[in-house]
Structure 1
Amino acid sequence: MTKTALITGASRGLGAALAEALAPTHHIIAVARTTGALEELDDRIKAKGGSATLAPMDITVPDAMATLCRGIHDRWGTLDLWLHTAIHAAPLSPAHFTDTRDWEKSIAVNATATSVLIPYITPLLSPESQAVFFDDPRAGEKFFATYGATKAAQIAMAKSWQAETVKTGPRIHILTPAPMPTATRARFFPGEDRDALANPADEAARLLGELSL
């Protein structure tokens, strides 16, 4: 039976690179808001001989995520792998200029959605299944108040889940990618030499190598 991999935040950057890397061995369930980017990903997956189910959804809408998880249950029963790469990168600013709308969206995407997805997806995971989160330890750095705080909240939830499932499974991983030329990073460091950054495909292969697949 073909293994299944759910990737939340699959349309671009690391999520798309992970989807392509897993395509030869897993059926990819790709979640993102941008339909066009998902269709382009589907074309690349098919070119590698793989298959994908596209789910153009907003992870901040609980009803949409409930529908997704019910669909996964009805079609496949369980998931072998969940990789959570979805993130909102709020513009950098001093802490005393924090924008309320940026803060609320960052909380919704980076923290609240994670708190919804973990209990929704857990019933789909067997003790041998794996869930993967990707750290970006910016908490406390200057100008990263909104992004750093909300990303740290996400990783704190993942660490708690990891500690709680050591004996029972599923296996929870928290990995730290090398800097890559993604759209998220470009918002933070627009003048950076992108040629000096890690290739997303190479980084996806490295990170997946840390898992037992």
Structure 2
Amino acid sequence: MTKTALITGASRGLGAALAEALVPTHHIIAVARTTGALEDLDDRIKAKGGSATLAPMDITNTDAMATLCRGIYDRWGNLDLWLHTAIHAAPLTPTDHVDAKDMAKSIAGNITATATLITFVAPLLGHGGQAVFFDDPRGGQKFFGSYGATKAAQIALARSWQSETDKIGPKVHILTPEPMPTATRARFFPGEDRAVLFDPHAQASAVLTQL
């Protein structure tokens, strides 16, 4: 039976690279807001001989995520792997200038959606599945107030779940990839030399070797 992998934030960057790396072993359930980017990913997956289910959805839409997870259960009965790469990257700004709307979006996308998804995905993973979260420890760094605080909170949720399931499963991984030339990083470091950054496909392979 083909294994299933849910990738939230699958349209580009590490999420897309992970989807392509999993083609030989998994059916990919790809979630992202950008339909065109998902369709491009689907073309690459098919070119490699794989298959994917595209879910052009916003992870902050609780009803959509509930429908997606119910659909996974109805079609496959369970889920083998969940890789959570989706993130809201608010603009960098001094902490005393943090925009209320940016903070609200950061909380919704990075904390609330993660907590909600854990409750929806955990039953699908059961005791034998695996979940993977990706740390980016910028909490406390200057100008990273919205992103750093909410990313740290996201990882705190993952660490609690990891501790709670250590002996019973699912297995929860928290990994820290090397810096990659992603769109998110470009927003944070626009003048950076991207040639010295790490290739997302190489990082995807490194991630999978740790599972």
TM-score, normalisation: structure 1: 0.98
1:204 maps to amino acid? A
Q: Percent of aligned pairs with the same residue? A: 76
Q: Which runs of 5+ in 2 are unaligned?
A: none
1:112 maps to amino acid? T
Match of 2:123 in 1: 123
Match of 1:168 in 2: 168
Query: Could you tell me how far apart the structure 2 residues matched to 1:84 and 1:54 are?
Result: 15
Match of 1:56 in 2: 56
Does structure 1 residue 15 correspond to structure 2 residue 20? no
2:206 maps to amino acid? R
What SS does structure 2 have at the residue aligned with 1:179? coil
Give the superposition deviation at 1:167.
1.0
The runs of 4+ residues in structure 1 deviating greater than 4 Å are none
Give the superposition deviation at 1:126.
2.4
Instruction: Name the count of aligned residue pairs.
Output: 211
Match of 1:103 in 2: 103
Match of 2:81 in 1: 81
Query: Could you tell me how far apart the structure 2 residues matched to 1:147 and 1:106 are?
Result: 7
Does structure 1 residue 27 correspond to structure 2 residue 27? yes
Match of 1:140 in 2: 140
Query: Could you tell me how far apart the structure 2 residues matched to 1:115 and 1:55 are?
Result: 19
Query: Could you tell me how far apart the structure 1 residues matched to 2:25 and 2:47 are?
Result: 14
Query: Could you tell me how far apart the structure 1 residues matched to 2:202 and 2:17 are?
Result: 9
Deviation per CA, 1:134-169, whole angstroms, max 9, x where unpaired?
A: 000000000001100000010000000000001110
Query: Could you tell me how far apart the structure 1 residues matched to 2:156 and 2:188 are?
Result: 22
1:73 maps to amino acid? Y
1:178 maps to amino acid? E
TM-score, normalisation: structure 2: 0.99
Query: Could you tell me how far apart the structure 2 residues matched to 1:198 and 1:186 are?
Result: 13
Q: Which runs of 5+ in 1 are unaligned?
A: none
What SS does structure 2 have at the residue aligned with 1:138? coil
Query: Could you tell me how far apart the structure 1 residues matched to 2:208 and 2:103 are?
Result: 31
